[in-house]
Amino acid sequence: MKRVLLSFTLICLSLAAMCQRPGYNPYATQQPTEWSGTGWALNNGYVVTNHHVADNARTILLKFSCADGWKEYAAETVLLDADNDLAILRITDSNFAGFGQLPYALKSSLADVGESVFVLGYPMTTTMGDEIKLTTGIISSHSGFQGSTVQYQISAPVQPGNSGGPLFDDNGNVVGVVNAKHTGAENVSYAIKASYLQTLINQLPNPTQVVPTANKISSQNLPGKVKSVKDFVCFIQCSSRGETPKSSNPKYGAPTVPQGNKIVEMPYVDFCHDANARIKKVTITDKETILEFSCNNLTQGGYFQWINIDKATYIVVDGKEYQLTRAEGIAIAPNKTNYSKPGETKNFKLIFPAIPKSSTSFDLIEPGESDWKFYGISLKEY
């Protein structure tokens, strides 16, 4: 895959951890199998986090602090908004008895520049510990990275793992959802404005019953507010392993492919060079092998302006090569598919001749100096 790198420093804040397997190369980049972030409660068992936290997760575990340690609940993704980096989850555990009265309200009107804010979340738990962390600051600007009107710029420090956490105003209303930091500047962070979250919530059944509206903590001091709300902010553990998630929302139902096809979602990859790309699904029909990808253009040092794929790309199964037959959603070189902004994700398909459905793994190779060489794409369910 060919790309052009433009420089800046912006980091999304989910925390990925590579799982080691036999033959694991610590210097290789591969699809993470486990990662984490932060979420917070809405009514009726719904939870808010970032799209980049929930996307591609096959299993999601929510951990809420309590007097005895943790309350843990399985959850599913019901709504994703990639453009605004938002996701809504729902708890699916039968032992979940409800959140009770939420002490905060969602405030979708615009917060003032200079207004005091605070952030709660679970950053870098492997080194900072699993106690919830508080940081404070102000609303620095009504616009975010490169003038984005979707975000606030805030001065509250955030770290990997804060992704999806709530941004509270001085009265204890949620006014945003933390999603990124600028590593090239001191204490410059970003949060998605609550008005965009409200728009996503409106897609749920009975949205007025989901949004918390009764603020019970506006008169408390900051320590009192933190004590009142912290048990409604959760640590999110995601994994690309486990059973394929099934959402009760019809919009996110079962795959619309004929029965008899072999389908593996979020396959494990032993080794790959490209940290931006994720193989979301492999479908093997009687005629074709279809690989579905997502590719975000953010990197540690900048972002990619465009992508394409070499027509000579092929997959290898047991020493036999299968040449690319066509692509959907990505240009064949020398043509280009352009990104419109930093942090954008492109979804596309590469289609090859059918490989044997009995295959257990295969490799994907784009020839030349391309980073697109994926080795050991597993066709086993974990």
Each of the 382 residues of the chain gets a pLDDT tens digit; together they read 555 445 445 555 555 432 222 233 333 344 567 889 999 999 999 999 999 899 888 899 999 998 888 999 999 999 999 889 999 999 998 889 899 999 999 999 999 999 999 999 999 988 999 999 999 999 999 999 888 899 999 999 999 899 999 999 999 999 999 998 887 788 899 999 999 999 999 999 889 999 999 999 999 999 999 999 999 999 999 988 765 444 433 333 223 334 468 888 888 888 887 777 889 899 999 899 999 998 888 776 677 888 999 999 999 999 999 999 999 999 999 999 998 888 888 999 999 999 998 888 999 999 988 878 999 998 875 4
Compute the residue count for the chain. 382
Q: Which residues pair with 353 in a beta bridge?
A: 288
Query: Which CATH number is 254-378 given?
Result: 2.60.40
- Quickly name the fold that domain 34-239 has: Thrombin, subunit H (2.40.10)
For CATH 2.40.10.120, the residue range(s) in the chain are: 34-239
Collapsing DSSP to helix, strand or coil, 361 comes out as: strand
The alpha carbon of residue 40 and the mean position of all alpha carbons in its chain are separated, in whole angstroms, by 15
For CATH 2.60.40, the residue range(s) in the chain are: 254-378
One-character DSSP codes across 130-181: SS-EEEEEEEEES--GGG-SSEEEE-S---TT-TT-EEEETTS-EEEEEEEE
Output Rg (C-alpha) for the chain, integer angstroms.
21
Distance CA 103, CA 228 (A): 7
Distance CA 100, CA 196 (A): 25
Distance CA 91, CA 36 (A): 17
Q: 48, exposed or middle or buried, with CB in 10 Å at 0-12, 13-18, 19+?
A: buried
Q: What kind and span of H or E run contains 2?
A: strand 2-7
- Respond yes or no on whether the N-terminal peptide bond of residue 334 is cis (omega within 30° of 0): yes
Global pTM value: 0.66
